[in-house]
Structures are given as C-alpha cells and as structure tokens.
Amino acid sequence: MKALVTGGAGFIASHLVDRLIKDGHSVAIVDDLSTGFRENINPQATFYEMDIRDAALADVFEKERPDIVDHHAAQMAVIKSVSEPQFDADVNIGGSINVILNCLKYSVKKLVYISTGGAVYGEPQYLPTDEAHPINPISQYGISKHTVEHYLFLYNLTDGLKYTALRYPNVYGPRQYPYGEAGVTAIFSAKMLKGEAPTIFGDGEQLRDYVYVDDIVEANVLAMTNPASDNEIINIGSGRGSSVNDIFRIIKGATGFDGEPISAPARKGEVYKIYISAEKAKRIMGWEPKLSFEEGLKRLVEYQRSRG
C-alpha cells in the first residue's frame, strides 16, 4: 500500500508513519512544519515541506499516486481558532477541500479524515457522547472540523470517494509538544519535571477523554484497511472522563513534584465536560483502547525524563 500522510511530522501522525513503514508500506509526508518537527520524520518516508492549501499539492499527488490518504494536518488549537477564526477556517476547511479534490483527481481509494470528538458536540446532553449526539460546537475549531465531514459525505455521494472520519479524543504520548496551549498532559509533565508549577484554568474539574497515541495509531490502521469503516463517522475514545485535577495528581506522583498548581480563569470556547463512546468503533472495526490512562501518563513522564 502507498500512503500519503498530511501532518506527518506532527505528534500523532509521525507515530502513524512509523507504524505504516514498520508494516511494510510506502509512505509520503506533507507537512509545513508549522507545528511538526523534522526530527519526527521517519527517514524511510518521502517528505514534502508544503502547506495543504498550496496548489502545488497536486504535484505531490501526481508524483506519489497514493492508494490511501490519511489527513491529519490542521490548525488544532481551540484558543487560536477563537482569536483567528479566518485562519482556522482557511486551513481546516480550505486546506481539507484541496486534499479532497486531489484525492478525486488522482483516484485515491480512500481518505481517512481526522475530526474531533472533543469539540464537535459542544457541551454534551449526555455522557459518554456517541455519534448520534447533536452537533453543537462552541468553538470555531469544532465548526471547521465538522464542516469537512459534510464535504466528505457530499463527495462520496457525488463522486464515490470512500472515507472514514475519526472523531478523536484528547491524544497524549511521546512527541507531544509541551510548550503550546494544547496537550495538558505534556505541558504538566514537562513543567513538573523541571520543578515548575503548571497552570490550571478554571476549577480543574473539566473532564476530557484521553487515549494514548499507540491506540490512536491502531484506529487509523483499521480505518485504512477495514472496509466496514467505509463512509462512516467513528468516535475514538475511552468512554471515561479524567479531570485536569486528576492529571495533576497522577503526574505529581510520577515526577515527585512537591508544589501546587497555579490557578487561572477558565478559557473561552472550551467545553467543560466531554468524554465519548467508542462502542461503534468496537462494533465495526474491533477497536478499543488497550493502555490505561495512568500507565500512559507514566510512560509519557519517563519519555520526557529521558529527553531531559
């Protein structure tokens, strides 16, 4: 199989590239390195430093002729989507349309699109949320990611493009950038390893669904290879909510940090409590997370400790 992975120098997609190459597949990467890093790029992959909005993306498709496209590249920060909604829509909607049109032009067999389970549903009416839950995003990021799902439905209907949309939870693990606004587990562990107090926004009782990156990679591989996932929107999650205060407590124990967190006001555009049901993923793809949150956090701390 020949795969094209957008955002393949980033945290999650670089792990997927490694897995695909390990499994014997040929992989090309498109990434503009705005949030990805060269050190994440598997040397056996073909790398194109390019924005997904670039018209020259067609040249990559022309040269590589991928069987499968896995589309991770995105503007992924909720807070940035609030402050720069035009940029968020330009990248997440405009860039994705560019990817989709090239998939059609070059007869890609399937597109795996990375959506969000944490932001499309808004404040949930029930927990855990499943795919039948109403879509009421309260951030521009949630709107832009959901909008692309409609384009996928349309182009499947009109042009026969096969797709799977995976609605992600909060993903964590090695290579997650610990100095931005996203990735509370990476941010907390990096700070506490240095003896610095992390900041908790709001009361710390916000609930999120956390899944380790290796389990997320497995979901992508199944979406690529299992025809039961064709033309489906599928939640990927643990069905369990963990609070920011829980994360602080677990990482505090793992790092030996002896301080207390800094308190700050809650941030605009963020859902208060969300965790998602992955019953559909289990039913049609046989997927469920294998690693517990507590063990995953310990692995993350050890990874960051090993890198100093």
Residues with Cβ within 8 Å of residue 307, at least 6 apart in sequence? none
For residues 286 and 236, the answer to whether their CB atoms sit within 8 Å is no
Dihedral over Cα of 77, 308, 261, 256: its sign: positive
Q: Give 105-163 as a DSSP string.
A: HTT-SEEEEEEETTTSS-S-SSSSB-TTS----SSHHHHHHHHHHHHHHHHHHHH---E
Judge whether 141 counts as a catalytic residue. Answer: yes
- Dihedral, 39, 171, 248, 129 alpha carbons, nearest 10: 170
Please name the residue that has the structure tokens 């499968």: 68
Q: Helix (H, G, I), strand (E, B), or coil: what is residue 215?
A: helix
Rounded Cα distance, 110 and 149, in Å: 14
Rounded Cα distance, 170 and 237, in Å: 8
Q: Which of these is catalytic: 48, 141, 163, 210?
A: 141
Q: Which residues are catalytic?
A: 141
